[in-house]
């Protein structure tokens, strides 16, 4: 029985292109509660050009979730008074993600495959009622609601070319300045009523992006969580919890939603992964 104060849905839906070309879903996700008020959520998007990226994304979320949960328990990150500084959190994130990368390199050597074939992006969120800790490599989106407004929690990596990103297994780890630049880490200290993280296959539905500015006559990315998508789903999660749905039932319904719940989801060629969590309290008002 779920006794946590949070209701969380997480799953991955295979994209239409992968269905047509008989490619496995290359996204992965994992969630672990820490007591009643905290939890760790991880999303990884396997690189489409690598045949083993589905293995890499699954291994990355499993290991990252375990190690970030262990450090949160060890350091007793239960309230804002116990948190590391932004600089300390950045160092911790770089150290753990480097460990995950090194372990995946060893795994590749054991299996006789190239380490880069395990490439994926990764987003890690540690959430509590009064703070959110985020670290990531690559693209995807993450955000949170303080009960009044949804805010972005990360800025997706943007390379020199359109749709270019960087991966956990990319070749940047030997230069410390590159590691500091690529591994992003942030702490948000304010009320956290809900949080979300996702692979880029979900962002067209859940974020406002690629909007046209008539004055500059250019497209821009406001990187703004779309509350008209998120708030109804938060209300739905709370309703499922009140109805006594198990975690497996919630995740199964979440999978169906990721497959067919919006026009973008129905037509999306890429894999779709999203973790959405909310405190089990009053309903959010839908504007």
Instruction: Tell me the β-bridge partners of 252.
Output: none
Question: pTM value?
Answer: 0.94
**Per-residue pLDDT tens digits for 190-228:** 999 999 999 999 999 999 987 767 777 777 788 999 999
Is the predicted pLDDT of residue 24 greater than 90, yes or no? yes
Look at the block and give the residue holding tokens 């969380």. Answer: 8
**Per-residue pLDDT tens digits for 233-263:** 999 999 999 999 999 999 999 999 999 999 9
**Per-residue pLDDT tens digits for 46-56:** 998 898 999 99
Rounded to whole angstroms, the Cα distance separating 16 from 248 reads 24
Q: Give the pLDDT band (50/70/90) at residue 2.
A: low
Q: Decide if 203 contacts 138 (C-beta within 8 A).
A: no
Q: Where do the domains of the chain lie, and which CATH numbers do they carry? A: 6-275 (3.60.40.10)
Name the DSSP letter for residue 188: E
Q: CA torsion 249→142→187→162, rounded to 10°? A: 150
Q: How many residues comprise the chain?
A: 287
**What DSSP string runs through 222-260?**
--EE-HHHHHHHHHHHHHHHHTT--HHHHHHHHHHHHHH
Q: H or E segment at 55? A: helix 53-74
Q: Decide if 41 contacts 197 (C-beta within 8 A).
A: yes
Between the alpha carbon of residue 51 and those of residues 55, 57, 115, 199, the distances in Å are 9, 12, 11, 18
Rounded to whole angstroms, the Cα distance separating 53 from 125 reads 21
Backbone angles phi and psi of 242, in degrees to 5? -65, -30
């Amino acid at each position: 029985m779920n006794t946590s104060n949070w209701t969380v849905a997480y799953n991955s839906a295979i994209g239409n292109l992968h269905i047509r070309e008989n490619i496995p879903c290359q996204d992965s996700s994992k969630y672990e509660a820490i007591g009643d008020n905290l939890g760790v959520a991880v999303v990884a998007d396997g690189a489409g050009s690598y045949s083993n990226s589905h293995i890499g994304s699954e291994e990355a979320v499993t290991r990252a979730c375990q190690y970030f949960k262990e450090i949160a328990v060890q350091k007793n990150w239960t309230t804002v008074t116990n948190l590391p500084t932004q600089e300390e959190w950045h160092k911790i994130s770089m150290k753990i993600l480097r460990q995950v990368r090194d372990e995946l390199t060893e795994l590749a050597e054991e299996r006789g495959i190239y380490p880069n074939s395990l490439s994926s992006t990764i987003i890690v969120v540690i959430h509590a009622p009064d703070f959110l800790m985020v670290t990531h490599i690559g693209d995807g989106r993450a955000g949170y609601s303080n009960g009044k407004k949804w805010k972005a929690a990360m800025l997706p990596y943007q390379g020199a070319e359109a749709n270019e990103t960087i991966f956990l297994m990319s070749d940047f780890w030997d230069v410390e300045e590159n590691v500091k630049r690529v591994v992003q880490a942030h702490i948000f200290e304010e009320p956290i009523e809900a949080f979300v993280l996702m692979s880029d296959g979900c962002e067209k539905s859940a974020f406002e992006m690629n909007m046209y500015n008539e004055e500059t006559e250019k497209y821009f990315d406001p990187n703004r969580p779309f509350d008209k998508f998120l708030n109804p789903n938060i209300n739905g999660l709370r309703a499922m919890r009140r109805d006594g749905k198990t975690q497996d039932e919630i995740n199964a319904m979440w999978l169906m939603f990721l497959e067919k719940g919006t026009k973008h989801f129905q037509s999306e060629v890429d894999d779709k992964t999203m973790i959405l969590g909310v405190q089990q309290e009053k309903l959010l008002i839908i504007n």
